[in-house]
Amino acid sequence: MELTFRPMATAEDAAAFRSLNEEWIRLHFTLEDEDRRQLEDPFTSIVAPGGEVLLAELDGEVVGCVALRPEGDGVYELSKMTVAPAHRGAGLGRQILLAAIERARERGAATLFLGSSTKLAPAVHLYESVGFEHVAPESIHMPYARADVFMTMALAQPAASR
């Protein structure tokens, strides 16, 4: 079983993105207004402004996702990353994260940022392990009350694109 990635393309994809994210958010936190805005219509809130939602599939089943939201000047937010509960602990989160970083580079991103929570220690550790660095909260615009971890990663572009 190989994990494959593709952009969100259909209403069914958007429903999978919403369901996966509502599950983890409700498990640990409360669904916030910004969550609702993005999850109710990810094509308008994420894709239309120039972002992308990547879906991770195993044997045709969507088992994870991540969003890249543009903030301008080559800066993207890494957001709404999750793995379906039945597939957690198998390293899929790392694969999704690495695919998102690669896709951000392909899109010309210079910097990624994210907000997370100390309640999600495995996720924070994963971000640290691939090179995200902690930054001061005021250095990032983050609309979520649950966010108490703020991180950025500078992306080196491949030599061919410099």
| 140 HSE (CA, 13 A, CB side) | 25
Q: Is the dihedral of CA 36, 65, 151, 68 positive or negative?
A: negative
Distance of CA 18 to the CA centre of its chain: 13
- Residue pointed to by tokens 């910097």: 111
Give how many domains the chain has, as a whole number.
Answer: 1
Q: According to the model, what pLDDT value does residue 161 have?
A: 45
Instruction: Kindly give the parts of the chain with pLDDT less than 70.
Output: 1, 157-162
Strand partners for 65: 55, 82
Q: According to the model, what pLDDT value does residue 72 have?
A: 93
How far apart, in whole angstroms, are the C-alpha atoms of residue 15 and residue 18? 5
How far apart, in whole angstroms, are the C-alpha atoms of residue 142 and residue 84? 24
Range of the domain at 56: 3-161
How far apart, in whole angstroms, are the C-alpha atoms of residue 52 and residue 107? 10
Q: Which two tokens stand for residue 58?
A: 């195993």
| 91 HSE (CA, 13 A, CB side) | 2
Q: According to the model, what pLDDT value does residue 76 have?
A: 97
Strand partners for 57: 4, 62
- pTM metric for this prediction: 0.94
Q: Which of 157, 118, 160, 152 is nearest to 135 (CA)?
A: 152
CATH of the domain at 15: 3.40.630.30
